[in-house]
Amino acid sequence: QVQLVQSGGGLVQTGGSLRLSCAASGSTFSINGIGWFRQAPEKQRELVATVNTGGGATYYADSVKGRFTVSGDHAKNTVYLQMDNLKPEDTAVYYCSADTGRGGFIAYDYWGQGTQVTVSS
């Protein structure tokens, strides 16, 4: 099993920055990658960024590309989401999740508690 504890988030103005952290514990060796998701009211949960545990490859949704940066510190078992040039549209609850799928399949079975990000105009 994997436990994920998030920190960061808060209230910022348009154009501001926030950094979210996701610290993993437990069976961290089983984690293939970490995904960052967000869910805003009346909207579907959206995958915004991922980082691969092995090679550090990253993925970004078009909506955040160029503004968000995901990185990992393997020694600390921690993944970060640096969010710059924030927009009101980024307002959501942000979750990190661990992909522990096997056999080449993605399985986001473990989730952090979520943290609110609010961007005011």
Q: Strand, coil or helix: what is 71?
A: strand
Q: What is the pLDDT of residue 98?
A: 98
Q: pLDDT at position 55, please?
A: 86
Q: Quick one: pLDDT at residue 54?
A: 86
Could you tell me which of 77, 95, 78, 79 has the C-alpha nearest to residue 37? Answer: 95
Q: Which two tokens stand for residue 66?
A: 């160029």
pLDDT along the chain (121 residues), means of 10: 97 98 97 97 96 93 98 94 98 98 95 98 92
